[in-house]
């Protein structure tokens, strides 16, 4: 089976454990894609099987970073959710949205463009689902006030949130996972991904101008409805708001400095969540904690264990050998394959399990290319770095391709339906797919130019 493979990458044996883990992994994937059973249930049950069949022992699943739950990801997500849950009742998000609409002077397209930018910026720092949940209700209120079609605002909100989320370490779960596995810090993402996302947003605004600019028209007297809204009325708890802004400031400063201070991002976020809980003087933290999206958290935990199982038995290593065979070790080709494959894969399947699978795959590829290196020297090899960025860009931006590509899209489509404005799968794709291709083309040019031509 392994004849002809150099000793250094003598990978594994295709024994019972290999096939058991592979079967659990493939079945879990298939059921998640089919959406017959809730993905969290599938992930938790799959993880249970990995342990029961002794693919991993419990210590590996809970305490070994290489195979088990990535607590850095888990605590970063939980802590950020707690911070947002504490901030939400202050009215800050309503304030920002109304302020933005007034900034647009009541002009429907200007508001659409400003909302897109605001959504992208908020998504860069909060998770995308939270962002769209906070923006969408105000968006529809504004569309109703202006008596224009809400559809452009709804779709644009999802698309912009996925683009914006790509910009930072904490913007989108794939980035959080990549950062943790590849030991990249907040500033690495700012330095490598934020520039291309800013460029992408400029193109995005031109693109929506082209698509919707002419259709969005309103009457002068309706603009007055927007202009007469008083955003200050949105602030329900100014004291808590001040505390929240201080804590958010500390957390963001902490993220910027976490690499230099040798803290993991989760440490910073957990400290922020704890501090804000303390300052809120709440006597009922269980309300705040109950609002954490536990299904998402458990989805991650289950998934990490399933992926850990297939990493341990060598399936991922086998896949990485195949990828290298296809690209013949050419790193530019590899990063392009990674980016475009990730984009189309993420458009149709959840990018969280996808990236959870790709992370160890890229590490295994690196081990084969540079068998003498290990640790940070391996993970941050100058020729490996573009692969991480390609994975992040592909997996995050790919989410825009279809209505099921990213959780933000699912939320937007779900909410729209509830609000009586149905967006069909085809309708979303009509806007999402071209937008995905445009943004991935921009990323392709960026990665090629920056890492393979200019090499900066």
Partner 1 sequence: MKAKDLMIPLHEYLKPDNTLKEAANILRTAKRDEEKIGVKGLPVLDENGKMVGFLSIGDILKAVFPAYMSLMNLGDFAWDGMVEGMAKKAGNKRVSEMMTKKVISVPEDAPLMECVDHMIKNNIKKLPVISNDGRVAGILYESDVFFAIAKAMLGENPEGEK
> Taking CB under 8 A as the criterion, which residues in 81-120 touch partner 1?
91, 93-94, 98
Is 138 near partner 1 (CB under 8 A)?
yes
Report, in Å, the least distance between residue 280 CB and partner 1: 18
Report, in Å, the least distance between residue 140 CB and partner 1: 5
Largest CA distance in the chain: 78
Which one of residues 118, 134, 205, 447 is an interface residue with partner 1 (CB under 8 A)?
A: 134
Token output for 430: 């009509």
Report, in Å, the least distance between residue 146 CB and partner 1: 11
Query: What element of type H or E holds 351?
Result: helix 351-369
Which one of residues 9, 64, 121, 133 is an interface residue with partner 1 (CB under 8 A)?
A: 133
Q: Crossing angle of helices 294-313/71-87, nearest 10°?
A: 170
Binding mask 234-253 for partner 1 (x = CB under 8 A): x-x-----------------
Is 423 near partner 1 (CB under 8 A)?
no
Which one of residues 16, 23, 58, 228 is an interface residue with partner 1 (CB under 8 A)?
A: 228
Which range of residues in 70-78, 107-115, 141-149, 428-436 is near partner 1 by CB under 8 A? 141-149
Query: What element of type H or E holds 155?
Result: helix 151-165
Is the separation of the CB atoms in 303 and 359 below 8 Å? no
Report, in Å, the least distance between residue 229 CB and partner 1: 5
Label residue 402 left, alpha or beta by phi (over 0 means left) and psi (-120 to 50 means alpha). beta
Q: How many residues bind partner 1 (CB under 8 A)?
A: 24
Which range of residues in 225-233, 368-376, 397-405, 436-444 is near partner 1 by CB under 8 A? 225-233
Residue 165 CA to residue 171 CA, distance in Å, equals: 4
Token output for 368: 């084969």
DSSP assignment of 30-87: HHHHHTSS-HHHHHHHHHHHHHHTTSS-HHHHHH-TTTS--HHHHHHHHHHHHHHHHH
Is 141 near partner 1 (CB under 8 A)?
yes
Which one of residues 49, 84, 86, 140 is an interface residue with partner 1 (CB under 8 A)?
A: 140
Helix, strand, coil shares, percent, the chain, to 5? 75, 0, 25
Cβ nearer to partner 1, comparing 228 with 374: 228
Counting other chains too, the contacts that 311-314 makes at CB distance below 8 Å and 24 or more residues apart are 311/66, 311/67, 311/360, 312/21, 312/55, 312/56, 312/60, 312/67, 313/12, 313/15, 313/17, 313/18, 313/20, 313/21, 313/22, 313/55, 314/11, 314/12, 314/13, 314/14, 314/18
Cβ nearer to partner 1, comparing 43 with 158: 158
Which one of residues 99, 110, 209, 225 is an interface residue with partner 1 (CB under 8 A)?
A: 225
Is 154 near partner 1 (CB under 8 A)?
no
Is the separation of the CB atoms in 190 and 392 below 8 Å? no
Token output for 174: 């794939």
Token output for 209: 């101008």
Cβ nearer to partner 1, comparing 65 with 149: 149
Which one of residues 137, 259, 274, 434 is an interface residue with partner 1 (CB under 8 A)?
A: 137
Report, in Å, the least distance between residue 424 CB and partner 1: 19
Is 145 near partner 1 (CB under 8 A)?
yes
Q: Crossing angle of helices 108-125/128-146, nearest 10°?
A: 170
Is 176 near partner 1 (CB under 8 A)?
no
Cβ nearer to partner 1, comparing 375 with 420: 420
Is 54 near partner 1 (CB under 8 A)?
no
Which range of residues in 34-42, 137-145, 273-281, 308-316 is near partner 1 by CB under 8 A? 137-145
Interface contacts to partner 1, rule CB under 8 A: 91, 93-94, 98, 133-134, 136-138, 140-141, 144-145, 225, 228-230, 233-234, 236, 415, 418-420
């Amino acid at each position: 089976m392994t004849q002809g493979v150099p000793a250094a990458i003598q990978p594994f044996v295709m024994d019972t454990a290999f096939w058991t883990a592979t079967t659990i992994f493939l079945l879990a994937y298939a059921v998640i894609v089919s959406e017959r059973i809730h993905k969290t249930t599938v992930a938790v049950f799959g993880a249970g099987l990995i342990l029961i069949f002794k693919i991993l022992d419990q210590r590996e699943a809970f305490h070994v970073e290489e195979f088990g739950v990535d607590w850095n990801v888990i605590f970063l997500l939980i802590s950020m959710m707690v911070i947002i849950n504490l901030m939400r009742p202050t009215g800050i998000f309503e304030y920002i949205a109304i302020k933005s609409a007034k900034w647009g002077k009541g002009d429907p397209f200007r508001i659409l463009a400003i909302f897109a930018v605001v959504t992208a910026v908020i998504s860069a720092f909060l998770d995308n689902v939270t962002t769209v949940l906070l923006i969408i209700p105000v968006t529809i209120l504004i569309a109703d006030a202006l008596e224009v079609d809400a559809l452009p605002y709804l779709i644009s909100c999802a698309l912009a949130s996925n683009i914006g989320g790509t910009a930072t370490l904490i913007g989108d779960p794939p980035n959080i996972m990549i950062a943790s596995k590849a030991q990249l810090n907040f500033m690495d993402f700012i330095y490598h991904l934020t520039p291309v996302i800013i460029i992408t947003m400029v193109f995005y605004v031109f693109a929506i101008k082209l698509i919707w600019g002419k259709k969005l028209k309103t009457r002068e007297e309706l603009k007055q409805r927007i202009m007469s809204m008083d955003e200050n009325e949105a602030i329900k708890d100014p004291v808590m708001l001040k505390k929240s802004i201080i804590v958010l400031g500390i957390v963001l400063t902490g993220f910027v400095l976490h690499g230099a201070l040798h803290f993991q991002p989760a440490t910073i976020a957990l400290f922020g969540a704890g501090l804000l809980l303390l300052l809120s003087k709440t006597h009922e933290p269980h309300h705040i904690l109950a609002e954490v999206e536990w299904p998402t958290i458990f989805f991650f935990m289950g998934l990490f264990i399933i992926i850990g199982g297939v990493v341990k038995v060598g399936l991922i290593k086998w896949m990485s050998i195949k990828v290298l065979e296809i690209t013949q070790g050419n790193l530019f080709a590899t990063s392009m394959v990674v980016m475009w494959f990730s984009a189309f894969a993420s458009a149709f399947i959840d990018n969280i399990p996808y990236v959870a699978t790709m992370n160890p795959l890229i590490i295994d590829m690196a081990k084969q290319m540079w068998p003498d290196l290990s640790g940070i020297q391996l993970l941050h090899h100058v020729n490996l770095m573009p692969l991480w960025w390609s994975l992040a860009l592909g997996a995050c931006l790919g989410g825009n391709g279809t209505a099921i590509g990213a959780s933000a899209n699912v939320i937007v489509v779900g909410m729209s339906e509830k609000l009586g404005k149905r967006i069909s799968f085809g309708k979303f794709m009509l806007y999402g797919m071209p937008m995905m291709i445009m943004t991935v083309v921009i990323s392709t040019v960026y990665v090629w130019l920056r890492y393979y031509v200019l090499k900066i």
